Chains A and B, each alone.
Chain A
Amino acid sequence: MNRVALFIPLALFAALSIVLLLGLDKDPQELPSALVGEPFPEFFLPRLEGDQEIVSREDFRGQVLLVNVWATWCFACRIEHPMLNSLAEQGVVIVGLNYKDQRAEAKLWLYERGNPYQFNIFDAEGSLGIDLGVYGAPETYLVDGDGIIRYRRVGVVDDRIWNAELKALYEELTGALE
């Protein structure tokens, strides 16, 4: 009995090592999302094109769509942009959330790099950003036909992420609408 007890510290140490080892694979920058499964927050903001027209979540019109948070100051957005262009070509509906940016620069960006967005929400103050819990661009949200957020990606959406995490869910949700 006593001899077995001698191994208890070793067993505890082994258990701790395994827990810590598993932790190594986790990305500490990736926060648990508070909004998956929740409705997209209400907003009333101007379009990027000009202040005259106000857009709101009513403009999502029951479509399955991606909301992509971007800005011209965001370096990773440059890397992500061609992917968004190619998704738009495939018919994926993408709404842009231009986050804490300058209007003129943002328009120039779309002119130079192509515009994959159905329309752009201009969130100069980052108020919708706070409601979404945005903490770094780019971020991408998948919103279903009922306006519920079904998926959130913080960071670049590339081929790997699209195929591994987004595509199947997107097709399932669009399929459910038809």
Chain B
Amino acid sequence: MRVLGFVVLSLLLANMAVASTAVVEFSDESLRIRYQQLVQELRCPKCQNQNLADSNSPISEDLRAQVQRLLEEGMSDREIKDYLKNRYSEFILYRPEVNQNTWLLWAAPVLFLLVGLWVLFRLYFNRASTDTPLEQMDELSAVDQQRLDQLLRNKDKQ
């Protein structure tokens, strides 16, 4: 019970921490949802491994303010991403677009799955083909029969 209380308390505190960093005013609440989504998906150009939402660097603050401004101006998410991409290059998109450079990245999971399936099937059917059913074991191929005959003949001679 005590543990549960601790968990609930820490969750409440975590919530407060998030709320205190994101004080952004919007004319329309629907913009806030899009804003949160965008700053999660856009990358801080200076700090490399953080998104705009997490980063406290001055450039991230500026870009968050810019995203907010562009949202208020009525730009679509697509247009805002293009706006930043045209200035900061594709690097700024944490969700890269599918193009000549990135198609392999996007296709990789499917490719790995297909290769995996192929290997599995190969293993399965190879085993099936080497494990000859018992009833067929009596039948020797012509060559084997010949070798057997030879061996038996040699044995008789001895």
Residues of A within 8 A of B (CB): 28-29, 31-35, 100, 126, 129-136
Contact = CB atoms under 8 A, between A and B. Distances in A.
B88 A133 contact: yes
A131 B87 contact: yes
B98 interface: no
Interface stretch (B12-20, B58-66, B134-142): B58-66
A130 B89 contact: no
A100 B89 contact: no
Interface in B22-46: 45-46
A133 B89 contact: yes
Contact of A130 (B46, B48, B62, B90): B62
Nearest to B101: A32
A28 B49 CA distance: 11
Given A126-B62, A130-B62, A135 B48 contact: no
A16 B142 CA distance: 48
Interface string B77-88: 000000001111
A159 to B, nearest CB: 26
Given A28-B48, A130-B66, A34 B59 contact: no
Interface in B95-119: none
Contact of B90 (A32, A100, A129): A32
A33 B90 CA distance: 9
7 contacts: A34-B87, A34-B88, A35-B87, A130-B63, A135-B45, A135-B59, A136-B46
A165 B48 CA distance: 25
Nearest to B48: A28
Contacts of A32: 89-91
Contacts of B59: 134-136
Contacts of B58: 100
Interface of B: 45-46, 48, 58-59, 62-63, 66, 85-91
Contacts of B46: 135-136
A28 B46 CA distance: 10
Contact of A135 (B66, B85, B88, B90): B88
Contacts of A29: 48
Given A135-B46, A136-B46, A34 B62 contact: no
Contact of A34 (B48, B63, B66, B85): B85
B87 A130 contact: yes
Given A100-B58, A126-B62, A133 B87 contact: yes
Given A31-B91, A126-B62, A130-B66, 7 more contacts: A28-B48, A33-B89, A34-B90, A129-B62, A134-B59, A135-B88, A136-B59
Nearest to A73: B58
Contacts of B91: 31-32
Contact of B86 (A28, A34, A126, A136): A34
9 nearest A-B pairs in the assembled complex, by CB-CB distance: A135-B45, A133-B87, A34-B89, A133-B88, A32-B89, A135-B46, A31-B91, A135-B59, A126-B62
A132 B89 contact: no
